[in-house]
Structure 1
Amino acid sequence: MRSLLTPRWLLLHALFIVATIATGFLAVWQWDRAHDAGGSFQNLGYALQWPLFGAFTIFLWIKLIRMDRAQQRGELEPDVNAEGEPEAEDESSAEVSEEPEKRRTRPLVPPPAPPVDNEEDPVLAEYNQYLAGLNESDQRTS
């Protein structure tokens, strides 16, 4: 609970409260504007959108609080630096993980599909030939 009262969090609380109240005022303003003589369905749409933005603001606020709490309990991974290594506050307190490093089991790019003969699917074979021709012409111009 104390971590939610730090200056950073107090500023975030104020920001989220102001944003939520602002979306409420904007919704009421658009609702009134929609019912004025010059109002339109666009104003009515905005009047219905602003409460959704306010709800998203509240959702994001709660999500950030839960993420901060989970990070304090050690459930989330620590921040990483540009080299992808975990940032340690003190070099002497850095611990070596006993878990093996997770590796990707499948390639990032899927293998090419097997070629299609004219006998199997003539339309697909013709399209593949067309694409191959485009690729060759593109390779020649590059």
Structure 2
Amino acid sequence: MQRLRTPAWIVRHVAMVVLVVAFLGLGWWQVTRAAGGNALSFGYAIEWPVFAGFVVFVWWREVRQALRAERGEPAGPAPSAAAGDEPVAETPAVRRPVRVARTPAAPADGADDGELAAYNRYLSWLNANPGARPGDYPG
């Protein structure tokens, strides 16, 4: 429990209380506006308490995670040994991107399309001249 009394956690606790009180206060304000005849305020009167509940949920989840880390428990669910005695391979946290060599595809049936060839020349010119505008194309 000492971990939850650090200055960073005290700021989190205070922020949670301030946000919940503010959101509930804004919800009450919307209820009074809705009672005064503003129909749009009925939606906001429901929305602000939901925001307050979300703040409490996130705060509670962070507290539980900090207490688990203090006890040395794993953060996620433990793998079950009921599947067998085989070791379970974990996926790496960071995966390397797959590099694929791009080669132009051959035209279908060996047919050369004149418009497609002209468009490809235009695209290759745009790629070779990154600062140029499409209207600068000489072809």
TM-score greater than 0.5 by the shorter chain:
yes
Q: Which of 27, 32, 44 pairs up with 1:46?
A: 44
Structure 2 unaligned spans of 5+: 76-91, 132-139
Residues 3-18 of structure 1 mapped to structure 2, 5 A cutoff: 3-18=3-18
Number of the residue aligned with 1:119: 108
Aligned-residue sequence identity (percent) comes to: 29
Superposed CA deviations along residues 5-30 of structure 1, whole A, max 9, x for unmatched, are: 44543343232122112211111111
2: CA distance, partners of 1:66 / 1:55:
16
1: CA distance, partners of 2:122 / 2:96:
27
Residue type matched to 2:45 in 1? A
Matched, 1:25 2:14: no
Structure 1 unaligned spans of 5+: 78-101
Number of the residue aligned with 1:61: 59
Residue type matched to 2:129 in 1? R
Structure (1 or 2) with the larger CA radius of gyration: 2
Determine helix, strand or coil for the equivalent of 1:49.
helix
TM-score (norm 1): 0.55
Deviation at 1:61, TM superposition (A): 0.7
Over the aligned positions, Cα root-mean-square deviation in angstroms equals 3.7
Deviation at 1:65, TM superposition (A): 0.6
Relative CO higher for 1 or 2, CA cutoff 8 Å, sep ≥ 6?
Answer: 2
Deviation at 1:139, TM superposition (A): 2.7
